[in-house]
Structure 1
Amino acid sequence: MSARAIWKGHLAIGDLGCAVALYSAVNAQERTSFHIINRDTGNRVRREYVDEDSGRPVGKDDLVKGYDTAEGQTVILEPDEIRDAVPESDKRLELSAFLDCDKIDTLYLERPYFLAPADRQSVEAYDLIRSTMETKGVAAIARTVLFRRVRSVLVRPHGRGMIATTLNYDYEVRDPAESFSDISKVRIDKEMMDLARHIIGTKMGEFDPSQYEDRYEAALTELVKAKIAGRKPKKLPKRKPENVTSLLDALRKSAGAKEEKSAPKRKTTATSTTKQKKAS
């Protein structure tokens, strides 16, 4: 079954362009989902909006958005007012600026989507844009209206296709100083730095997402299966606390464990044992 496009538009660089379609790159539907149940009756329950003061239910047609001002007033925004204020989509994804892929601040990346040609006639122009960007090692910034909001999008080559990732706006990203300003500068001992480098060196590898298990999802799945089968769920092994007296001891212990795992085991053969006896 082929994927269904969630948006269609026109990818363009100046006068060069092609029809494109946007597809979801992340599938949250694969996760275990639950219903909210009334424990006493076993029936599902539904959410209902009620008036904060009177406690009476409010119908869908009577729901509007409100904005609280600093003076304590509430400004009511009608649905048609919001609709008229939001820019209309021209379905155009204009690549306005290019930048090196290794200079992209991942802090601003929001959600990825697959960007593909919308029809056969667009394949040639699409691949020309993609292959040129791949050769140059660049990504592109574009702006368009997605999901009733003007969004900045990062477009970059990915295999035979391209990925379009929506970006967080600057005002949405918090100042790192809010979290890092209280971190004091410390002097690191040379032995600790060397041990830490050694440990990191033994763990170097390549990113392979298939090797990382969603332990939360696996635990929920096992719990549901156990309940259906009428058995007790398997208990996850608990990590034993380690007696470490200092950071340096922790580094030495970790580095020693890595060396033991990586060192080849010595084999003792009958021949070598016989030679040792004769030598003695």
Structure 2
Amino acid sequence: MAVRPYWKGYLKLSLVTCPVQMMPATSESEKVRFHTLNRQTQNRVVSHYVDSVTGKEVKEDDEVKGYQRGEDDYIMLEDDELENVALDSTKTIDISTFTPRDSIEWIWLDTPYYLSPNDPVGQEAFSVIRDAMEAQKMVGISRLVISRRERAIMLEPRDKGIVLWTLRYGDEVRDENSYFEGVGDEKADSDMMPLVQQLIKKQTKNWSPKMVVDPVHDHLLDLIETKKKALKKPSRSKSKEPSSKPGPSNVINIMDALKKSVAAETRSSK
């Protein structure tokens, strides 16, 4: 089933323009989702906005965005005012700057989208922009309004298309030095290094999406299936006694653990 475009507009570089469409590169539609129900009636619970002082329900037409500037003091902003803040970048991705791809660290990347031509006539212009960036290992920097918010974006050539990444703003990225400054300057033990490297080598595999499966999601599906069967046939399962088996000790010798790990990996490979 084809995915409907999330956004349609134009990709522009100087005088070169082509129609494009954008689709989310990731999806959570397969995730298990729940509704909140009334336990007594099993009807769905509906949420409403309520005035924090009067306790009365607020009509949709009376809802408005507010920026707080003091206690109980807000500046109200209407929807049309918010929409008019960044109208220039709602329909056109105008590439204004290029930068080497390896100069942008992973932490600045936010949400990925797939960008592709939206018209056969514009494929040549799209291909020229894409291939020129690829040849020089460059990415394009621009801006785009997404969900009423203007975002900085990065355009990265990928195969036949372009991956569009929304970028985090400077005030959204925390300085790593403030978190790593407490880490000591001790060098790795020269005797342990070969063991760790050997362990890494034995456990190295080619990347596969199966490495990042969601076990909680699978357990939820199993639980839901069990519940479905229980509605058809009464369950006679007995409760299990809690295990009295003691948990593992956290106090270990790193060198012994590494040697045992390498030995275990060696036996399994044989």
Question: When the two structures are superposed, what TM-score results if normalisation uses the length of structure 1?
Answer: 0.82
Corresponding position of 2:15: 15
Q: Which amino acid aligns with 2:259?
A: R
**Residue 246, structure 1, aligned to residue 265, structure 2:** no
Corresponding position of 2:124: 124
- The 1-side partners of 2:170 and 2:26 are apart by 24
CA contact (8 A) 2:11 2:92 kept: yes
Map 1:86-235; keep pairs closer than 5 Å. 86-89=86-89, 91-230=91-230
Corresponding position of 1:260: 267
- The 2-side partners of 1:41 and 1:183 are apart by 55
Cα 1:209–1:31 shift into 2, 3 Å: same
CA contact (8 A) 1:244 1:250 kept: no
1:71, distance to aligned residue in structure 2 (A): 6.0
3-state SS of the aligned residue for 1:28? coil
- The 2-side partners of 1:14 and 1:190 are apart by 56
Corresponding position of 1:27: 27
CA contact (8 A) 1:101 1:138 kept: yes
CA contact (8 A) 1:65 1:76 kept: yes
Cα 1:33–1:179 shift into 2, 3 Å: same
Corresponding position of 1:267: none
Cα 1:186–1:142 shift into 2, 3 Å: same
Question: When the two structures are superposed, what TM-score results if normalisation uses the length of structure 2?
Answer: 0.85
Identity %: 35
Mark the runs of 5 or more structure 2 residues left unpaired by the alignment. none
Mark the runs of 5 or more structure 1 residues left unpaired by the alignment. 265-280
Corresponding position of 2:65: 65
1:117, distance to aligned residue in structure 2 (A): 0.3
1:244, distance to aligned residue in structure 2 (A): 5.6
Aligned residue-pair number: 258
1:88, distance to aligned residue in structure 2 (A): 4.0
3-state SS of the aligned residue for 1:21? strand
CA contact (8 A) 1:32 1:217 kept: yes
